[in-house]
Structure 1
Amino acid sequence: MQKFIFAAAILVSIAESQILRQGKCPLMITAQQNFSVEKFSGLWYEQVYTRRFSGLNIRCNVEHFTQAGPKNFSLNSFFHSEKSESEFHRENITYHIRGIGEVKQSANNSGILRVTIPKMNVTSDVWILETDYKNFAVLWNCVDMQGANYMENVEIITREKYAKNKVLLNALNVLPKKKIAKTNLSYAAQTNCPSYEKQLAKFNLTGDALADD
């Protein structure tokens, strides 16, 4: 997996998706002001992500944020990979990645998160570009590379497993406001998903509607 990561809904995309662009990371990108870890805590479903090139065909990605302090949190990601099924002849393979993080100190308590995945020994910053806490959140990460290039990643997560079109449109409209391109985005699969109830219970997390009827 790549060492250049997108950390937050992150945890799957941490090593799986980023787009190489010319230039340096934009300096004028702003994150959500007065960000609240408490309001952001809970279950989120991945809906849109920067295209992945690993071939793992990741789907059914969910993220659970748990507040661990005024500016600290833990983050658990659960996802499924169809390629693993076909290659290793195993069904219902569930992957779990755990991260820990904190809100970086800033004048306006901006939603810039420093997320670490201990098992991978990687740390990266992710911007919560905008969230209403109840419906959607738009996340962005950027890493300058050697030379005149940078890697960036976008992810949209929602509270509902099957997000309404209006919610997705509102989230996607955040990108042009921040002068971030919508290119190389894909819609996530949240259908025919395995149940993650046992995994959530193991880590004392709560969730609902985690499996299809």
Structure 2
Amino acid sequence: MNAFPFFVILLASGIQAQVPFLGKCPVVNEVQQNFDVNRYLGTWIAIEKYFTIFEAGRKCVEAVYTASDNATFSLHNQMTGMITHKPFTMDGYALAAGLPSEAKLSIHFTSPVPFVGPYWILGTDYDSYAVVWSCTNVIGFNIQLAWVLTRDRNYPQEALDKAHAIFDRNNLSRKMLYKLDQTNCPKYN
């Protein structure tokens, strides 16, 4: 295979996610059933995640989900530069992409750069943790995103343990997860 087309495919898919795995997307064993979007709305703090370009060099990552007339929910991601300490935001919305009872969504970022991708909530108790995962097939490999979200920067260890168990039950790698810096965070609007 010529290296240039492969590089272009990798670069194009890199806009979406940064953790490549060989082969096709894995089959996940569970996705949150009987998903209650109203209980999911509100602020979620990103505690652990797979590497992503759009969050590189940033800390204090949080997402605010609000009710929407035209979508499953609207989203406003906010974070702060680790060196510059300047705020950075990403806005968009989510639409249902699976059965009505499943938490399989399609995320649509509208700013600062348009982007569409899968957003599957593998599990949540709505009050303390959520595991979000995404996978896209690219020729010969797949690219995955994953986040462990909590409602509070000072999350209980039990919430993290439950989130990790979801990765294990779905045979998803926890080795690629890294902890985000959530110290000295500004109060976002």
Other structure's SS at 1:190 match: coil
The match for 1:166 is 158
Other structure's SS at 1:39 match: helix
Q: What is the Cα deviation at residue 170 of structure 1?
A: 1.2
Other structure's SS at 2:118 match: strand
The Cα offsets for residues 4-28 of structure 1, whole Å up to 9 and x where unpaired, read as 47xxxxxxxxx58531111101234
- Deviating above 6 A after TM superposition, structure 1's stretches of 4 or more consecutive aligned residues are none
TM-score when normalising by structure 1: 0.76
The match for 2:6 is none
The match for 1:144 is 137
The match for 1:72 is 72
- Contact 2:47-2:149 at 8 Å conserved across structures: yes
1:123 & 1:163 partners in 2: Cα distance?
Answer: 30
The Cα offsets for residues 102-149 of structure 1, whole Å up to 9 and x where unpaired, read as 22241x610011111123221111110000001100010001112x21
Matches within 5 A, 1:37-186: 37-52=37-52, 56-69=56-69, 72-83=72-83, 85=84, 92-106=85-99, 109-119=101-111, 120-146=113-139, 148-186=140-178
Paired residues, number: 178
The match for 2:8 is none
Residues 166, 190 of structure 1: alpha-carbon distance in 2 compared, 3 angstrom cutoff: same
TM-score when normalising by structure 2: 0.85
2:16 & 2:61 partners in 1: Cα distance?
Answer: 13
The match for 1:193 is 185
Residues 175, 64 of structure 1: alpha-carbon distance in 2 compared, 3 angstrom cutoff: same
Other structure's SS at 2:117 match: strand
The match for 1:31 is 31
Runs (5+) with no aligned partner, structure 2? 1-10
The answer to which structure has the higher strand fraction is 2
Q: What is the Cα deviation at residue 42 of structure 1?
A: 0.4
Please tell me the residue identity of whatever aligns with 2:72: N
